[in-house]
Structure 1
Amino acid sequence: MALKATIYKADLNIANMDIHQYGDYQLTLALHPSETIERLMVRILAYARYADDALEFTKDLFETDEPALWEKDLTGQLVKWIEVGCPDEDKVKKASARCKQVAVVAYGNAVAEWYKRNSKLKTLKNAEVWQLSEKTTSEIQQLCKRTMQLQLNVMDGEWTLIGDEHQVVIEWTQLQ
């Protein structure tokens, strides 16, 4: 019998004073048996960076041709394509041709080598690449619970994610 995904729920309140974006989002995420808590929490941060009511989590670990998150317009056309981790550059290039905005939220100790090796990414005009520090991805795991109440405050470029018992300063680096 195959292992089933574990469901996590997060109530995410965002107060981004830098761009005057405020919102409450009720997120439901499935943690695939092969997925880590670190990746689950990075998916939440990716959602927070591009927060929109139309943004959806996908079946990316089950469906290899899907990203971690996407947004479609009312006609079903893809608008945003958001990858988490260090994806194949051909997948990102293909998404770039189909969407207005493509983003990669990369994390882990292999990001620098991955980015250097995938030079085609640098030619994509509608693609952003963000790197989360290893310190951030290590610390955000402490915030993870099956049911989470998270508050994200952004002010003067500083991101702080607050949970019930901990808070983490999110360290982003824009590679592209």
Structure 2
Amino acid sequence: MTTLTQDLIQLLSVVPKDQGYFLAQSKPLFGDHIFGGQLLAQSIVSASFTCTLPLHSLHANFISAGLANHPVLFKVENLRDSHSFSTRQVTAIQYGKPIYMVMLSYMNNEMGMEYQIPEPDLIPQFPQLCSKKSNSINRKSNHLFHLNIYPHFYSLFSLYLNQLNTC
């Protein structure tokens, strides 16, 4: 294992303390303040000790800046447990004050209705966008966007303009 991987595993390791409390070390990655992704990852690891279902969604709020050279205490609250769903609220605390909160929703993988419709045939695929013929057609539609920088957005925008012109 590389030292970078070892550092990441060590950073994401949390130590269980009391019931629902976990202690994590912090590392100054970008200055004196804790990197938000670090708090998010450590909170997910902390909550994973209390739930066996796969993580489905989350909503995070950064309340105040945390100090990177000081440990963080994570308080995990079990808000709901059922057969298919679980909800946890994790609060990151430094010096007795919350610096971050996240609501984590866990859901059992189940079969259900599929609402996704297939992609329409009108939208050109990426290889078509890169061809010279497609470039010349799309450049006539709108010269504001350069294809090499915004290929997908450019093609969708061109289709939209073409549909407006035919109305």
TM-score by length of 1: 0.31
Rg bigger for which structure?
A: 2
Richer in strand (by share): 1
Richer in helix (by share): 2
The higher relative CO (CA closer than 8 Å, separation ≥ 6) is in 1
